[in-house]
Structure 1
Amino acid sequence: MKVKLTEKILAILLLLIAVGALTIHPAQEISMSTLGGDKVDTFFNIVSYSILFYFLISYWKGFIYVITKSPLQFFFLAIVIFSILWSEDLSYTLKDIKGLIRIYFLAIYLAMRYPLREQMRLIAWALGISALLSMIFSAFIPGYIHISPELVGMWSGIYGHKNELGYMMNWSAGVFLHLALSSYRYRWLMWALCGLSICLIILTRSTTSLAILLTMILLLPIYQFFKKTNYKLQVIMITSALMLLIIVSILLINNAETVVGTSGKDLTLNGRSDLWELVIPKVLERPWLGYGYSGFWTSNAASNLRATYDWASNAHNGFLQLLLELGFLGFLTFAAGFIRFFVMALTRIVSVAEKPEDYWPMQMLIIIVIVNFSEARLLTPSWNWLMYITTSLSLTLSFQQTRIYK
Structure 2
Amino acid sequence: MKELLGNPLILLILAGLGIVYGLMIYNTVAKNEKVASTFEKIAIGIFIFTISGATGVTVMPFTKFHPSVIHNAETKDITIILHLAFYGSLLILLSPRLVSGGKNLVPAIMKFLATDPSLALFLIWMSISAGWSDTPMITFRASLVYLEVTFVAIYLAKQYTWEELFAVWRWVNFFVLIWSLAKPNASVRADMAGCWSGILGHKNQFSFFMAQTAALWFVFGAYNPKKRLMAFVIGILALIGLQKGCSGASRILTVILIALWGSLSFLKKLPVQWAFVSVILFMVLSICVGIVVLDNLEAIVVGKLNKDMTLTGRTLFWPQIVDFINKRPLTGYGLAGFWQPWRGLDNPAGPIIEPKSSFIPPHSHNGFLDLACDLGWGGLALFIISFFVNVFKGVVYLTRDKLPYAGLPLFFLTYALMTNLTETGWFGTTSIWFWYIVVSVRTGLDTTSKNY
The whole-number CA distance in structure 1 between the counterparts of 2:174 and 2:368 is: 29
Cα deviations by residue, 1:17-47 (Å, 9 ceiling, x for unpaired):
322399xx999xxxxx743596566556643
Number of aligned residues: 390
User: 1:50/1:328 Cα in 2 relative to 1: closer, same or farther (>3 Å)?
Assistant: farther
Q: Which of these residues, 180, 195, 200, is aligned with residue 221 of structure 2?
A: 180
8 Å contact 1:156–1:162 — kept in the other structure? yes
**1:254-273 equivalence runs, <5 A:** 255-262=296-303, 263-273=305-315
1:3-402 to 2 correspondence within 5 Å? 4-20=34-50, 34-35=59-60, 42=79, 46-52=85-91, 54=95, 57-71=99-113, 72=117, 73-138=119-184, 146-149=189-192, 152-229=193-270, 255-262=296-303, 263-298=305-340, 299-305=346-352, 310-349=359-398, 351-402=399-450
C-alpha distance in 2 between matches for 1:62 and 1:181: 35
Q: Is the 8 A contact 1:294 1:325 kept in 2?
A: yes
Q: Distance in 2 between matches of 1:250 and 1:376?
A: 17
Q: Which has the larger radius of gyration?
A: 2
Give the gaps of 5 or more residues in structure 1.
Answer: 28-32
Q: 8 Å contact 2:49–2:176 — kept in the other structure?
A: yes
Shift of residue 310 of structure 1? 4.9
Alignment root-mean-square deviation, CA:
3.4
CA displacement, residues 171-220 of structure 1 (integer Å, 9 cap, x when unaligned): 32222122222234433222222222122111212222222112111222
- Tell me: higher relative CO, structure 1 or 2? Use CA pairs within 8 A at least 6 residues apart: 1
Q: Is the 8 A contact 2:50 2:65 kept in 1?
A: no
Alpha-carbon distance change, 315 to 144 in structure 1, aligned in 2, over 3 angstroms: closer
In structure 2, the residue matched to 1:30 is none
Question: Does the aligned pair in 2 maintain the 1:96–1:381 contact within 8 Å?
Answer: no
Letter in 2 for 1:329: G
Q: Give the deviation of 1:318 after TM superposition.
A: 0.8
Give 3-state SS (helix, strand or coil) of 1:285's partner: coil
Cα 1:282/1:363, change in 2 over 3 Å: same
Q: Which moved more, 1:85-94 or 1:41-50?
A: 41-50
Evaluate the alpha carbon distance shift between residue 219 and residue 264 of structure 1 in structure 2; reply closer, same or farther with a 3 A threshold.
same
Q: Do 2:200 and 2:206's aligned partners in 1 also have CA atoms closer than 8 Å? A: yes
Structure 2 Cα separation of the partners of residues 261 and 274 of structure 1? 17
User: 1:218-267: per-residue Cα shift (whole Å, max 9, x none)?
Assistant: 22221122234567875886687578669868966994433422322112
- Listed one character per residue, the Cα deviations across residues 312-366 of structure 1 (whole Å, up to 9, x for unaligned) are 12111111111121112211211121111101112223x1242233212111111
Letter in 1 for 2:134: E
C-alpha distance in 1 between matches for 2:247 and 2:284? 28
TM norm structure 2: 0.76
TM-score (ref. length: structure 1): 0.84
Kindly indicate whether the alpha-carbon contact (under 8 Å) linking 2:217 and 2:232 is maintained by their aligned counterparts in 1.
Answer: yes
Amino-acid identity (%): 24
**Aligned pair in 2 of structure 1 residues 253, 49: CA closer, same or farther (>3 Å)?**
same
